[in-house]
Structure 1
Amino acid sequence: MLILKNLSYTHPDKEVLFQNLQLSISAGDKIALIGANGSGKSTLLKLIAGDLPVTDGLIQLIEKPYSIPQIFGQYNHLRVAEALQVDVKLNALHAILKGDVSEQQLQLLNDDWTIEERCAEALRYWQLQELDLNLPMSSLSGGQKTKVFLAGIHIHQPSFILLDEPSNHLDTAGREVLYHYIRSSKATILLVSHDRTLLNCIHTVAELSRKGISLYGGNYDFYLEQKTLETEALLDDVKSKEKALRKAKEKEQESIERQQKLNARGKGKQEKAGIPTIAMNTLRNNAEKSTSKLKAVHDGKIGNIKDELQNLRNELPDFSQMRFGFDDSGLHNGKRLFAATTINHTYEKQFLWANDLDVFINSGERIALRGSNGSGKTSLLKIILEKLEPTRGSVYRSIFNAVYIDQDYSLISNQLTVYQQLQQYNTSALQEHELKSRLNRFLFTKDDWEKRCSSLSGGERMRLMLCCLTVRYQSPDLIVLDEPTNNLDLQSISILTMALNQYKGTLLVVSHDEYFLKEIAIERTITLQGCKTKSPL
């Protein structure tokens, strides 16, 4: 179905993204392509789809794949039918049904008499049964746009499908439909995703890295097990090499001290024997050369070990070097932070929730806030954080120190440098060297300190946000996370998970990522039921 031979791609600015990639995909294979942000996953899909020119190497395809891209609003100028590439056939069908049976219309339809029924069936499968094909894409939510392209699979029935982060904008119900489709489909599938539930629906993982593409014959959980074993073996190699380095340095010191003693003993004997000065100088020079040669031999051995050790350390995943230091929030577990009794809120003269809400949050809890798109999750968060008052009902708040973190980590100011951003959160009065040490701990090296935050990736913004929280005088009582994994790669999600599991305060999380919610030990769920007739928030 697909063969990549020595595939390379270089950006127009001459930066090499990857080189000499090799990959073979057979009919019916389902492969998850993973890798760090910036490794080139989306670019590789675009190359396979034919949307970008190959710099070097070869792509062999049996047929052109059907591609489902990430949604960034790039299709807003199209109508739904145009985005699905069915507008020409539908127009021809309607013209024929109205009596225009010209050769031109028949050619445009190309005997596809079931196109309208397939469109309706596909939209129904992807929960878009009421969607008008003439609607502009700009009027749809991100999740609806994604479902439109997923519906195209059923309409066009391709045998090879490329999917780039297909679950990003989908709610829980939409994701369940996607998971079922991926498991049951007979098509060849190559997908990029950080949704670990989706990755576990696939039984081959292809990791794209600086080394090329490495295949793991199993789902994502199996891949993690293998990577853990690899990392543990690598750590053992690092420890072994560190031990070898210490021994080499000790041996060097012992050899030099032994040689120096021999030289001193020889010099004493020569002086007693009354050897002429010229001969003494020659013997002394020979001894110095011998010592210098011995040191050079040891330096060479030590240098080789150091190089090998550095190479091993470079292969370790970055997050294995991270350290978190969250202080306790200062609140005892069980203290009532928020209580709402029979609250509701109106939006455009319509109540948000089908039933009035009773909501409470206690200190130390880990809570997931669930609800379909438009169920009012954002409004409830605003009420909890005192940014909105409900139209009716009563509210009690005892939250003195809350942090709201959205999927874009917009608490990070784009105008500031990395160091300036950290300084803004430095309420514990840490000195400059301590702040820079903290940045190093969160993988921001000296080269990063003066970078503008506007240039940071999603994962870097997340790491800087976590770093900022660790330099405050006191950890927040409550951290509210709104779809925090949406723009993160898998390694960044792992870092976020480790940090949250060390945080001892209260968590309130909005996320459709079930795997993530399980990993951060969510204890309780608040589920919202919105009014069907209201405008979505």
Structure 2
Amino acid sequence: MLTLQDVVYAHPNQDILFDGLSLIVNKHDKIALVGNNGTGKSTLLQILAGRLSPTGGHIQVQGEPYLVPQVFGQFNQYSVAAALGIAQKLEALQQILAGEATEENLNLLDNDWTLEERCQMALARWELSDIDLSQKMETLSGGQKTKVFLAGIEVHRPELVLLDEPSNHLDAKSRNLLYEYIQSTKNALVVVSHDRALLKLLHTVCELNRHGLTVYGGHYDFYAEQKDLASNAFAQDVKNKEKALRKAKEIEREALERQQKLDARGKKKQEKAGMPTIVMNGLRNSAERSTAQMKGIHAEKVGAIRQELQQLRQSQPQTDKMKLDLDHAGLHKGKTLLKAQSVNLNRNGQWLWNEPINLQLNSGDRMAIKGSNGSGKTTLIRLVLGELQPEQGTLERTPIKAIYIDQDYSLINNELSVYEQAQYFNTGLLQEHEIKIRLNRFLFGKNDWDKPCLALSGGEKMRLMLCALTIAQQAPDLIVLDEPTNNLDLQNIAILTTAINEYNGTLLVVSHDEYFLEQVNVAETVQL
């Protein structure tokens, strides 16, 4: 169905994004394409879809693949029909039905007489029955835009479907519809995703990294297990090499000490024997040459092991180099931070929630807010943070230090450099070198310090946000995460998960990512 052979892609500036990629996709294959941000996953999907041409290599495709793209608002000026690529066909159909059965219209329609009915059925399947095909995409929510393209699968009826982060922006109900499609479809699938629940539904995982494309013959759990085994083996290799270096240094020291004792003993014997000075000088020079030769041999061994260890450390996975040390929150566990009784707000003459909200948040709690898109999750967060006041019921808050981290990491000021942003959070008056040490821990090296925050990816902004929390003198009493995994790859989700699990304060999370909620030990849920 699809074959890639030694595919290369270079940016217009000739920088190589990836090369030597080979892959075979057969009928009914369901393949997950994973990898860190920036490795070229979306670019590869664009190449598979025929929207980009590779710089080198060969691609063979049977039929025309259908791509469900990531939605960022780039389709806002299109109608739904135009975004689906069927606007001209629909117009031709309508003109034919109105009596204009011209050759041009008939060619455009290409005997696709069921197109309009198929569109309505597909939109209904994805719960978009109220969407008109002439409606502008900008009037839709992010989740609705994604579902429009998912509906396009049934409209176009391809054999190969390419999905780029399809669960982003979808609420729990829509995600379940997506999972059902993936499980039941006979289409061949290539899916880029960080959604672990979705990844577990796919049969094969392919990882794209700087070394190329690695195929793992199993679903996500098998892939994760193999990565853990490789990580543990790598850590053991480093440990063994460190041990070998210590042993080599010890042998070097002991050998030199023995040689020095032998030399001293030999000198005393020579002096007692009353040897001529010229003979003694010759013996001393010989001993010094022997000692120098032995030093050189041991230094060469130590140097070789040290170089091997350095090479190992340079190839160490970036996440393993990170040092997470979030400070402890200052409040004792169990202290009531917020108590809401029968809380509601009025929107255009109607109450926002059918049932008023009752909620108690205590210090140390880990709580999730769940609900469909438009159910008022962000509004409830604003109530919790004191940015809104209820129009019904009572809300009691304890003055606390809270930090709100949304999916766009809006706390990061795009006008600042990476170093300036870190310095902004420096309430503890750390020295410049201490700030830079912290930045290094979060994988921001010397070349990144002057980089504008505007140029950072979602994952980089997340790491900078975590770094800022470690720089601040006191950790917040409450961290609020709003869809924190939406723009992160698997590596950065793992970093975020580790950091949150080290934090001992109160956590409030809005997320449709059930796997993430489980990993950060969320114990309570508010369902809107």
> What's the TM-score once normalised by structure 2's chain length?
0.94
Q: CA deviation at 1:139?
A: 1.6
1:193 matches 2:193: yes
| Structure 2 residue 347 is matched with structure 1 residue 347 | yes
Q: Aligned pair 1:524/2:524, yes or no?
A: yes
Q: Which amino acid aligns with 1:247?
A: K
Greater shift after overlay, 519-528 or 429-438?
429-438
Question: What secondary structure does 1:92 align onto?
Answer: helix
Amino acid of the structure 2 residue aligned with 1:113: W
Give yes or no for the alignment of 1:158 onto 2:150.
no
| 1:33-72, Cα deviation, whole Å (9 max, x unpaired) | 1111111111211222222221222222223311111112
Q: Secondary structure at the match of 2:33?
A: strand
C-alpha distance 307-31 of structure 1, shift in aligned 2 (>3 A): farther
**Counterparts of residues 34-73 of structure 1 (less than 5 Å):** 34-73=34-73
Aligned partner letter, 2:475: S
* 1:531 corresponding residue in structure 2: none
Q: CA deviation at 1:283?
A: 5.4
Report what 1:493 is aligned to: 493
In structure 1, give the amino acid aligned to 2:343.
I
Q: CA deviation at 1:262?
A: 4.4
Identify if the C-alpha distance between structure 1 residues 197 and 400 changes in structure 2 by more than 3 Å, giving closer, same or farther: same
SS of residue paired to 2:461: helix
Distance 1:33 1:354, change over 3 A: same
Q: Do 1:399 and 1:478's aligned partners in 2 also have CA atoms closer than 8 Å? A: no
Pairwise CA distance, 1:266: 5.2
Q: Secondary structure at the match of 1:19?
A: strand
Q: Which residues of 2 match residues 145-184 of structure 1 at below 5 A?
A: 145-184=145-184
* Deviation (angstroms), 1:24: 2.0
Contact 2:6 2:19 survives alignment (8 Å): yes
**Alignment-mate amino acid for residue 170 of structure 2:** L
Indicate the SS of the match to 1:300: helix
Q: For residue 322 of structure 1, what is the aligned residue in structure 2?
A: 322
Alignment map for 1:442-461 (pairs within 5 Å): 442-461=442-461
Q: Partner of 2:78: helix, strand, or coil?
A: coil
- Specify the alignment match of 1:29 in structure 2: 29
How many residues in Structure 1 have an aligned counterpart in Structure 2?
A: 527
Amino acid aligned to 2:373: N
Match of 2:84 in 1: 84
SS of equivalent residue, structure 2 residue 208: strand
Measure, in 2, the Cα distance between the counterparts of 1:460 and 1:383: 29
Greater mean deviation of Cα atoms: 284-293 or 509-518: 284-293
Give 3-state SS (helix, strand or coil) of 2:294's partner: helix
Q: Give 1:497 deviation, angstroms.
A: 0.8
Partner residue of 1:406?
406
Which whole-Å CA distance do the structure 1 matches of 2:516 and 2:180 have between them? 19
Map Cα deviations across residues 125-175 of structure 1 (whole Å, 9 max, x no partner): 111111100011122111111111111111111111111111111111111
Q: Which amino acid aligns with 2:333?
A: N
- 1:18–1:212 contact (8 Å) kept in structure 2: yes
**Contact preservation (8 Å) 2:143, 2:169:** yes
- 2:63/2:158 contact within 8 Å kept: no
Separation (CA, whole Å) in 2 of partners of 1:369 and 1:476: 19
* Whole-angstrom CA distance in 2 between matches of 1:442 and 1:215: 29
> Do the aligned partners of 2:419 and 2:450 also contact (CA within 8 Å) in 1?
yes
82-91 vs 308-317, which deviates more?
308-317
Contact residue 345 and residue 390 of structure 2 kept, 8 A: yes
Cα 1:473–1:93 change in 2 (3 A) is same
Per-residue displacement from partner, 1:165-198 (whole Å, max 9, x unpaired)? 1111111111111111111111111111111111
Q: Which residue of 1 aligns with 2:212?
A: 212
Q: Deviations over 1:432-491 (max 9, x none)?
A: 343333333323333333333222221121112112222333221111111111111111
Structure-1 residue corresponding to 2:333: 333
Q: Which secondary structure does the structure 1 equivalent of 2:414 belong to? A: coil
* Structure 1 match to 2:12: 12
Give the distance between the partners of 1:434 and 1:503, measured in 2 at CA.
Answer: 21
1:252-310 per-position Cα deviation (integer Å, ceiling 9, x unaligned): 22333344444555556666564564x76665555444433333333332233223223
- Computed over aligned residues only, the root mean square deviation of the Cα atoms, in angstroms, reads 2.1
How far the C-alpha of 1:234 sits from its partner, in A, is 1.4
Q: Does 1:309 align with 2:278?
A: no
Secondary structure class of the residue paired with 1:46: helix
- 1:513 paired to 2:510: no
- Asked whether 1:466 is paired with 2:475, we answer no
Q: Please name the residue that 2:429 is paired with.
A: 429
1:231–1:316 Cα contact (<8 Å) kept: no
The residue type equivalent to 2:37 in the other structure is N
Farther off after superposition, 260-269 or 452-461 = 260-269
Alignment map for 1:129-144 (pairs within 5 Å): 129-144=129-144
Q: Which amino acid aligns with 2:75?
A: Y
Change in 2 beyond 3 A, CA 1:281/1:27: farther
**Identity over aligned pairs, percent:** 56
- Unpaired runs of at least 5, structure 2: none
Residues 295 and 23 of structure 1: CA distance in aligned 2, closer, same or farther (over 3 Å)? farther
Matched residue, 1:247: 247
Distance 2:252 2:448 in 1: 37
